[in-house]
Amino acid sequence: MALPKYAYFGGKIVPYSEAKVGVLTHALNYGTAVFGGMRGYWNADQEQLYLFRPNDHFRRFLESAKLLLIEFDHTIEGLVEITRELLRKEGYQCNVYIRPLAYKSDEIIGVKLHDLHSALSIVSFPFERYVANDTNAHVTFSSWRRVDDNMIPARGKISGAYANSAFIKTDATTAGFDEALVLNEDGHVSEGSAMNIFMVRNGVVITPPVTDNILEGITRRTVVELAREELGLPIIERKIDRTEVYLCDEFFMTGTAAQITAVTRVDHRPIGNGEMGPITTRLRQLFGEIVCGRNLKYLHWVVPVYKEIPEVVSN
Ligand code: PMP
């Protein structure tokens, strides 16, 4: 991965090499940070870089911060502006990933959330595919369980909780799978290591509810709307059993990094006929057009970096 040239750090844009913290930093020792992850898509015809749903990403970022008692003066709109400025300074003409991080910055010993200072950084870098095999991924059910809302809330993007995701991902990939699905303590399917999940059974699109220890994904919300509005499909949010996944017709994972990743095998069993299904294919096509500003109906989901923001801002 190419390192960024610049970072937003200490309240201004500085060379990336100056964006450093000391080893005693609270967040580095105790995982007391929250982060975001959004993408910018390059549209070569328009010579434009589009941020996908940045307002929604920063809204969730501020919500995650609230859970950890991290307070900022920044508004959602202000954070979008800083991000646009950073990207313009980098001058990217390619797809990029943006990583905002809000962290407890005191260099002290002591496990707690209160009476600590916070800092904000934002960096960006060129980025393409996250799941290398995103058209026919083979996934497995992890032997690890998802952290529960009363342990570390999965609804916040809390850095410390990603140790759970890292256990899940490493076991699966070192065993030769592309990704892993993780179960809740009650045995129902929660999500992937860094993606939400959807299955299609008998023409119905089904995804776990937000009370099943999932991150409330922005790609998830996007797919729910597209499946309902554009494909006219019924969508149900309900608990999913492990064996329903083995028997479903289509299965896919959604996330900013994973985009819409088609899963065609689970624990060595083919999903449907073992190839990417028609609903997944159509959703991927639609999503691909929308994110780089090629679908006029969904222009309100993208924000251009290199020109003025149009009147309709992402909701
Ligand atoms: N679940 C987890 C645990 C994640 O880290 C992510 C990635 N942010 C997602 C789901 C997908 O969320 P989004 O679509 O907002 O990127």
In contact, 196 and 206? CB cutoff 8 Å: no
- Read off the pLDDT of residues 113-168 as tens digits, 9 standing for 90 and up: 999 999 999 999 999 988 889 999 999 999 999 999 999 999 999 999 999 999 99
For tokens 């960024």, what's the residue?
Answer: 4
Ligand 1 proximity of 222 Cβ (cutoff 6 Å): no
Percent of the chain beyond pLDDT 70? 97
C-alpha span between 41 and 286 (Å, rounded): 14
Distance 217 CA to ligand 1 centre (A): 5
C-alpha span between 138 and 118 (Å, rounded): 40
Ligand 1 proximity of 217 Cβ (cutoff 6 Å): yes
pLDDT exceeds 80 at position 275? yes
Tokens of 243: 């064996």
Q: Which residues are catalytic, by number?
A: 157
Q: Is the pTM of this model over 0.85?
A: yes
Letter string b/e over residues 239-259, b meaning 16 or more CB atoms within 10 A of that residue's CB: bbeeeebeebbbbbbbbbbbb
Ligand 1 proximity of 54 Cβ (cutoff 6 Å): no
- Where are the alpha helices (H) located in the chain, listed in sequence order? 26-30, 54-67, 76-90, 162-174, 218-229, 242-247, 278-291
- Read off the pLDDT of residues 163-184 as tens digits, 9 standing for 90 and up: 999 999 999 999 999 999 999 9
Closest to 146 (Cα-Cα) out of 162, 128, 123: 162
- Minimum-distance ligand 1 atom for the alpha carbon of 221: 14
Distance 202 CA to ligand 1 centre (A): 26
- What pLDDT shows up at residue 308? 63
pLDDT exceeds 70 at position 218? yes
Mean pLDDT of the chain: 96
- What pLDDT shows up at residue 311? 53
- Read off the pLDDT of residues 43-77 as tens digits, 9 standing for 90 and up: 999 999 999 999 999 999 999 999 999 998 999 99
